[in-house]
Amino acid sequence: MSEFSMWFEQTFKQCYCEKGNLVDQERFSELVQLVLDDEADEESRALFEEKIRTCVQSNGKFLEEKGLRECIQTKLTQFKQDIPGDLAQSIKNSINL
């Protein structure tokens, strides 16, 4: 197991209580961003995907984050000509498009 996988697994576990309920949505959102940015390795992604398949709250939070990202991407594309180039690039950099 890689160092990243160990960190991801430990951080992931800290998002949940001993009953398996999501209790740290902020930390979970950070992990969602790693998954959406394709920065998570296979082991981390497998752990994440298993949980969102079995936990309604985790799946809902994942879909919320994914939807927000898609909405921002759509708006950036839709209004690209109306946005100053440096502002668009700054927004893209901040959400790691």
- Give the separation between CA 11 and CA 52, rounded to whole angstroms: 15
- Kindly tell me if the per-residue pLDDT of 76 is higher than 60: yes
**Range of the structural domain that residue 78 is part of:** 3-95
- Kindly tell me if the per-residue pLDDT of 97 is higher than 60: no
- Give the count of domains, the chain: 1
Report pLDDT digits (tens) over 15-69.
Answer: 999 888 999 999 999 999 999 999 999 999 999 999 999 999 999 999 999 999 9
Vertex 12 angle, CA 7 and 14, to 5°: 100
